Amino acid sequence: MHPQLNLIHKVKHIVVRFCGDSGDGMQLTGNLFAQLAAELGHEISTLPDFPAEIRAPQGTLGGVSGFQVELGEGVYTPGDKADVIVAMNAAALKVCTLGSHFNHPQAHFDEQFSLYHRHAIVMVDTDSLTNKDLEKAQYHTANPFEELGIPESVQIVPVALTTLTKEALKDSGMDNKAMLKSRNMFALGLICWLFDEPMEKAIHLLEDKFKKKPALIAPNTKVMVDGYNYGQNLALSVNQIRLESGASRVESGEKGRCTSIAGNRATAFGLIAAAEKAGKHLFLGSYPITPATDILHELAGRKDMNVMAIQAEDEIAGVCTAIGAAFAGDLACTTTSGPGLSLKSEAIGLAVMAELPLVVVDVQRGGPSTGLPTKTEQTDLLQALYGRNGECPAVVLAASTSANCFDFAYEACKIALENMTPVVLLTDTYLANGTSIWRIPTMAELPAIKPQSVPEDLKGHYNPALRDERGVRYWAYPGMEGYEHRNIGLERDAERGTISTNPENHEKMVLARKQKIEQIANSIPELRVQCNTDSDTLLVGWGSTEGHLHAAADELNCALAQFNYIMPLPKNTREVLSQYKRIIVCELNTGQFAAYLRAQFPDIKMEQYNEIQGQPFAVERIVAYGSKSI
């Protein structure tokens, strides 16, 4: 490497990937760095990417855990590929370099599959490239860089991370194993130097992170600061990077009102806020399932907010306990992923038939069956819309950023309580585990929620079929004197509310339940077109792909319509779609939303672009598709 001046490159946004063994603390390091970046005023978007195994054998390819973050301004996604890689061992280096081809014998760096660009900076722990390490990671030669065919344009920065960490802690009295656990902090310090970020905030964050284990604060801080200072030694060979975004990004009025939040946590917060606004007791019936379990964790810990979170004996009991709580007058929710949604289908049908408010959160993952439990996909859309017996309409919403999981969880509760219906909220692994910046709302700012109630003059004459002018049935529940009634999963008489098998009545009730869902379109916002609205081309997406499609639409200089309301659709959907010559419906499935839209608007021509790899979209591939003329 040639000695050169310590130049500082200025960039708008940049992608960093931390990559190591699943025991190396990569998620923690990545999260700390992302949080630091956010605190310093950058926009962030993160993508944790971890193996399904809790602990694969150390140093093996199956155990590689990654955390990618994009920071800067105009950040919509965690980025397709990294500009900076931190590889903690030989296996991580291989996985980052070869991407999805890491298992192919004789595979070489190929920018199409690699997790980093050909001009990336790759920091690698040279202490973790011993013959034993290389063997575990299935290298065939003693020179990993050559074997992987890493091109010269990639700037490899070898750092003896392990040695340097041990050196930093030599006086700490810690044992070898404990010292090695701090390697990630050395890497974090080094990255902070690379981005020319001040250390004070990072130290403060570290103190906060370890506040429950104060003994860890001093050694980890020491290692991190040593990592930062070591960066000075690299100054001759590596250029520092300065992001142009920063403090200015945070508008003055918003100061102190932002945080970074993962989608699952945002979802939990949305449910909590809605319950408080509605004056209802929040009940969660749930069963552990990846990647939804963090919502259960969060709510189980929120007894201070008066949340009752039940870990049920199975998925069915999760939804059924919630239905019981809804019958008894609570704001009731159940959280799950695709396989759990399948198990809950019959009970969701019960909530449709009994016309009870119920929020079902489906954090989608790769399917079918057990599928890809830790990966992301948008393949439960049709299940959410139609996966129940009978004519069984329910509201379907989809969140589109980690932070707006809050808004749509809140909205799901509002719609459920005001319209006496189950609402399925679709998020996915990408949103659930990823983080984005959340502007924290106050309770006063949030829209009112007016749970359906029952007029007093119905006391003594109430039955569960009585509806208001919108077609929404009145809600009375145990404890209310004079409103005793029997609710059912059987068809009910439209007037008396009792069991009925009358043919005309059944048709009337099927239509009444359908109409009840359709009228919700009157109270949801219209579809808003983003990016270049004057273009002839419209990208259409739903849910978690918003960031990627926004970035793609910007590059293609075309328009974007991203749907959050799926059932019912916004009222102006036809009007929007009919304004564009070319419509490309982009989804992480084989075309479920496209099929749904085509069924509603058979006269509107739509193309579709799909990826089903368990990963978020790659912006460059959407752009490549969109640039092709038809």
**Quick check: 211 binds another protein (CB under 8 A)?**
no
For another protein, give the closer residue by CB, 190 or 316.
316
As a whole number of angstroms, the distance between CA 550 and CA 537 comes to 13
- Smallest distance, Å, CB 360 to another protein? 14
Q: How far is the CB of 484 from another protein (least distance, A)?
A: 5
CB of 499 to another protein, least distance (A): 7
Distance from C-alpha of 90 to C-alpha of 414, rounded to nearest angstrom: 50
Binds another protein (CB under 8 A): choice among 487, 535, 544, 564: 487
Q: Binding to another protein by residue 558, rule CB under 8 A?
A: no
Give the residue with the Cβ less far from another protein, 4 or 306. 306
Choose which of 28, 156, 488, 521 interacts with another protein (CB under 8 A). Answer: 488
Assigned token pair, 289: 């399932």
Nearer to another protein, 452 or 487 (CB): 487
137 or 331: whose CB is closer to another protein? Answer: 331
Binding mask 326-355 for another protein (x = CB under 8 A): xxxxx-x-------------xx-xx---x-
Q: Which residues contact 159 (CB under 8 A, 6 or more apart)?
A: 123, 124, 125, 126, 190, 230, 234
Backbone angles phi, psi at 554, to 5 degrees: -60, -45
| Separation between Cα atoms, residue 384 and residue 370, nearest integer Å | 17
Residues 434-453 close enough to bind another protein by CB under 8 A: 440, 442-443
For another protein, give the closer residue by CB, 412 or 585.
412
Shortest spacing between CB 232 and another protein, in angstroms: 27
What CA–CA distance (Å, rounded) separates 94 from 223?
Answer: 26
Residue 617 beta carbon to another protein: minimum distance, rounded to whole angstroms: 29
With CA atoms as reference, report the closest residue to 384 among 414, 413, 422, 354. Answer: 422
94 binds another protein (CB under 8 A): no
HSE (side-chain half, CA atoms, 13 Å) at 103? 4
Residues 6+ apart with CB under 8 A from 555: 619, 623
370 is a site residue for another protein (CB under 8 A):
no
We find the least distance from the C-beta atom of residue 314 to another protein, in angstroms, to be 6
Contact 162, 83 (CB under 8 A): no
Structure tokens of 481? 């004197």
The three-class DSSP label of residue 485 is: coil
What is the nearest approach in angstroms of another protein to the Cβ of residue 595? 29
The binding track of 296-325 with respect to another protein, each residue x by CB under 8 A or -, is: ------xxxxxxx-x-xxx-xx--xxxxxx
Residues 489-528 that bind another protein (CB under 8 A): 489-490, 498-499
Residue 273: Cβ within 10 Å count: 22
**Quick check: 285 binds another protein (CB under 8 A)?**
yes
The closest alpha carbon to 48, from 21, 23, 78, 80, belongs to 78
DSSP 270-287: HHHHHHHHHT--EEEEE-
Shortest distance (Å) from residue 306 CB to another protein: 6
**Residue 602: how many other CB atoms lie within 10 Å:** 8
| Omega before residue 291 within 30° of 0, cis | yes
CB-nearer residue toward another protein: 96 or 278: 278
* Amino acid occupying residue 271: L
Q: How far is the CB of 349 from another protein (least distance, A)?
A: 8
If one counts every other C-beta atom within 10 angstroms of the C-beta of residue 313, the result is: 10
Per-residue contact string for residues 171-210; x = within reach of another protein by CB under 8 A: ----------------------------------x--x--
Residue type, 280: K
Sheet of strand 331-336: strand arrangement? 308-311, 282-286, 331-336, 358-364, 422-428, 395-398, 565-567
DSSP 109-138: --TTT-SEEEEEEEEEEGGG-SHHHHHHTT
Residue 30 or 541 with smaller CB distance to another protein = 30
Number of residues forming the site for another protein (CB under 8 A)? 68
Is the Cβ of residue 298 or residue 380 nearer to another protein in the bound state? 298
Closer to another protein by Cβ: residue 346 or 518:
346
Q: Which of residues 17-46 bind another protein (CB under 8 A)?
A: 35, 38-39, 41
447: Cα separation from own chain's centroid: 24
What is the amino acid identity at position 389?
A: N
Residues 233-262 that bind another protein (CB under 8 A): 250, 255-259
Q: How far is the CB of 209 from another protein (least distance, A)?
A: 10
CB of 261 to another protein, least distance (A): 8
**Of the candidate residues 34, 61, 124, 272, the single one contacting another protein (CB under 8 A):** 272
The distance of closest approach from Cβ of residue 187 to another protein in the complex, given in angstroms and rounded to an integer, is: 22
Whichever of 272 and 560 has its CB closer to another protein, that residue is: 272
CA pair distance 483, 347, nearest whole angstrom: 24
Q: At which residue do the structure tokens 């790899």 appear? A: 613
Compute CA distances 142 → 95, 102, 298, 445, 549, whole Å.
17, 17, 46, 61, 42
Residues forming contacts to another protein in the complex (CB under 8 A) are 35, 38-39, 41, 205, 208, 250, 255-259, 269, 272-273, 276, 281, 283, 285, 302-308, 310, 312-314, 316-317, 320-330, 332, 346-347, 349-350, 354, 440, 442-443, 477-490, 498-499
